[in-house]
Amino acid sequence: MRLFFHWFPRYLLYATHSPCPLRSASKVLAVDVFQQHLKSYHVKDIEVKSVDDARGIIYGPNETVIPVKSFLTLLVLEVLNPFYIFQIGSLAVWFTEEYIYYAIAVIFMLIAGAGSSIIQTRRNQMQLRKTIYFSEIATVIRKEDGPERREICVDVLASSLVPGDLIAIPPNGCILPCDAVLLTGNVIVNECMLTGESVPVTKIPIHNDDRKFDESDETTRHSVLYSGTKVLQTRFHGEKWARAVVLRTGFLTSKGQITQSILYPPPVDFRFERDSYKFLGILAIISTAGLLYAVITKYYRGVGPKEIVLKGLVLFTIVIPPALPAAMTIGKLYAQKRLKEIGIFCINSRIINIAGTINCVCFDKDNPLEIGIARQFFFSSSLQRMSVITHALGSSNFNIYCKGSPEMLISLSKPNSVPSDITSVLASYTRKGFRVLALATKSLPTSMTGKEVEEMEREEVESDLNFLGLILFENKLKKATESVVANLRKANIRQVMVTGDNILTAIKVAEECGLVAPKQKVYRLEASPSEVTVLPHFDVGDHLKPTKKVSSISMPHINWARIGSVCDEHHMEGGIPESPPTYALTGQAWAVIRSCHPSVIPKVVKDGTIFSRMTPDQKQQLVIELKGIGLSVAMCGDGANDCAALKSADAGISLSDAESAAASAFTSSCGDVSCVPRVISEGRCALVTSFGIFKFMAGYSLTQFSSVMILYTIDSYLTDFEFLYIDLCLVTLVAALFGLTKPPDASKDLAPRPPSSNLFSFYPILSILLQVLVMVGFQVTAYLGVRLFPWYRPFDFGKQFSYFESPYACYENYAVFAISSFQYLWMAVAFSRGAPHRRWIWSNPRLMCSIAVLGLFCAFLAVLPTDGLAEFFEMAMPPSIKDRALVLPITLLNLILSLFLERVLIEHVLEPGLISRFCKKRRHSTILTDHGIIYSKDHETVHSLTRGRHKGNKG
């Protein structure tokens, strides 16, 4: 019962506590619901603390604590897993039955499996703590006690900061320990950890007026400093450092939210694992039925209670093989090793199988002058420009520099400073795919003071400029990008760009790398609380010209069919349809749609390709929404701003060994996206391998169960060394080598369909049942056939059979064992599926050699064993070698039938749907009428002829 409560702690809470108001509660039950069908329960204690430090208690310490469990704790948690409990029980049964050798082998497998899992878990926890944890000293500004209340600076541990504290930012820079709002001075920070952009950002003081603080406001955001970002430089007046007030601490900060998403990612609901548990439930039912049969038959035959109980428990260990978890892990471990050899490291082998189901991939894209910046006007999308007022060292005047869209800066510049051919030059650059900005300048009068500069209006600063020229930006793709995108597109894997970059840059890169097809229309979505607007996307150079709305739909009566038909008359060229239109939107539009029009999100997620200016939280939201519409999502990123999305994805792939590596299942050292098809290819191979091994282990357990049940009818049994030979030499060795079969070359085309992860479906179950029925049929044939020979002697339990000392030795035992020993090899061959996701079995020389050697030994053991070998296996050998040799053609026929059922019937007839298509074609192919044979495509003709005949009859 205690073990049950360990697995389901909420039931212990129900049993020992009753519901009550929060103020009198000692424990609380938190229920986390994900995507309406996945629930997780957390039982937490309620702590009561004194109120000596009210703010400290309310907000807690400014820490992001990463728990690292001891090896002993991890070992206990691992051993208390239901599978390990079952395996420990199985070991107890085997030792009681003196089935020692296989029990020892399973113990070694358990130690290896549990040890590797514990070491990997501990290593991941340590790596995450090393990445996230930091200890800083913060300078807090406080006032002395006394009448003067002078300000003093006090160095304190950053962990003691609470919201409301006033902190001073060191001039030489630091790592910000909290989220804060800048009050005085200017600060230059590197926000790469959050945004992925390595360009330093200047933060300015918050507006000093009566406006309400709104962090979502574009102006206010330029005054917020975020935890974990690096302060590069500060500027301040006089001797007082730049100051900021603490806004958020601990897990409430931006860095804390990323850390929390890593520690507590959305649950991964992998269908193959769910189905495997269901199938094990069915096997448990089968073993229970066998147990009841054995108990009843043995009871009526006078077998003792102890023997009945032991044999019944052995049946459970036969039908539900304890080695199944280890066998299921082998294929993933081989795939993990192959990935490591090509520079792709996986911290969780379980994710490799999940990577095999991926059908959607999200990609992230990505001598100083001694000039002091006296004032800065940030970029505004509505104004299409930004500007700075600089003061060069040693100079007595101020200079203005402005950059922005060419069209806007041309209109703000003096006409005589603009070249006459600027329009044609600009058009030539934009047609070549460059992103073009313009630069202009103006010098202020030498008589202007710093105070006058601070009081200038923006309109005055950005007027009468002198045009300087154009700045060209080119986003060159990495060598592997285009081929990878083309490969994934051929494999029908959806590809999405989710980036912190500008939307125009993102669209251009998407067009160049093939994420957007050559003639595919791209429409930009913009949103307000009342409507969603669809805008056409022009060439990059023309993006700042006035745009005309394609569609503006009031919410909530949005007509997506209308948006989907925004393809104009050029959508059909020469009768050939273009790719369906796709959408691009910014993080700002995403936030508005998600908060004001949540019902629209599934459509945006379904058809959108380019998501730009996305924050870390929004990237995670997109990944979760993609999973919500039924896609299996991989996220490929390279920065800490991708951590949340990497952790939430079904398979996170980091192209960096920095912060993102701690959050992703895969880390690639190649630095480009060529690792993506390799991960998917290995994942597909591992998933097919897991399917094959599961079917093999299920077939093995049911085949051995049938052997035991057949022999139970005469109170015989497989001997210990027969069991050992089957379990250790045949099954364990073959299962260990099964996963060595490699995937096809990932640089070539991936298969257009991923392998199924649905184990509990018609075809996998039919495959297992057909194989088991064939195996049982041949065993029954051997069991009954051996009785037809003249030398046959019936078995009488409790009496010695001829000169054999074994209590189970008999001719039926020989016949069943001789046939079944081949059957485990034949099932391995039948279930070792090849193309398109794995190479064929003959490409695995170790497995083929093992099957060949074991097959020859099985033949030798069945036909020509030495006396010592027959005595070792406790087999009652038929006297005639000629009669023993009949085992060989029988088992060869068994192999042919097994291969026919799996390779021909299942793989090439039933799964492709040939029978259903043939029946449908036959049903609709021809219709015989009075007017002759009419084919199915002419149904309207048939109806019209029939109506005409009826009218004629009436007339």
Residue 886 to residue 11: CA distance in whole angstroms: 59
Q: Measured in Å, how far apart are the chain's first and last C-alpha atoms?
A: 84
DSSP 481: H
Which residues does 5 contact at the CB level (< 8 Å), separation at least 6?
A: 11, 12, 15
Residue 528 to residue 553: CA distance in whole angstroms: 11
**Residue among 179, 364, 366, 650 flagged as catalytic:** 364
Residue 814 to residue 810: CA distance in whole angstroms: 7
Indicate the helix (H) or strand (E) that contains 34: strand 27-34
Output the CA–CA distances (angstroms, integers) from residue 505 to 434, 486, 500, 501, 522, in the order listed: 10, 20, 10, 7, 13
Q: Are strands 27-34 and 137-143 parallel, antiparallel or unpaired?
A: unpaired
Per the listing, tokens 């193309």 go with 835
**Where does residue 639 rank: exposed (0-12), middle (13-18), buried (19+ CB within 10 A)?**
buried
Indicate the helix (H) or strand (E) that contains 926: strand 926-929
β-bridge mates for residue 572, sequence order: 577
Q: What are phi and psi of 98, to 5 degrees?
A: 60, 35
Residue type, 803: Y
Q: C-alpha angle with apex 384: 383 to 387, nearest 5 degrees?
A: 85
* Long-range Cβ contact pairs of 509-514 (< 8 A, separation 24 or more): 509/365, 509/475, 509/477, 510/584, 510/609, 510/610, 512/433, 512/475, 512/477, 512/482, 513/477, 513/481, 513/482, 513/485, 514/482, 514/485, 514/486, 514/489
Output the CA–CA distances (angstroms, integers) from residue 720 to 101, 535, 704, in the order listed: 9, 76, 13
Q: Sign of the CA dihedral 560, 562, 563, 565?
A: positive
Q: Sign of the CA dihedral 935, 941, 945, 946?
A: positive
Per the listing, tokens 């990445």 go with 131
Q: Sign of the CA dihedral 73, 74, 76, 77?
A: positive
Beta-carbon count within 10 A of 603 CB: 17
Residue 574 to residue 587: CA distance in whole angstroms: 37
Residue 496 to residue 303: CA distance in whole angstroms: 67
Q: What are phi and psi of 877, to 5 degrees?
A: -80, 130
Residue 734 to residue 689: CA distance in whole angstroms: 12
Per the listing, tokens 């059908």 go with 359
Q: Are strands 494-498 and 360-363 parallel, antiparallel or unpaired?
A: parallel
CA atoms within 13 A on the CB side of 924: 9
Count of residues making up the chain:
955
Q: Provide the Cα torsion 869, 875, 879, 885; round to 10°.
A: -80
If DSSP codes are grouped into helix, strand and coil, which group holds residue 38?
Answer: strand
Per the listing, tokens 């049964």 go with 93
List the structure tokens of 457. 């209006």
Residue type, 579: S
Clarify whether 364 is annotated catalytic.
Answer: yes
Residue 822 to residue 851: CA distance in whole angstroms: 10
Instruction: Give the max Cα distance, the chain.
Output: 125
Q: What residues are annotated to the active site? A: 364
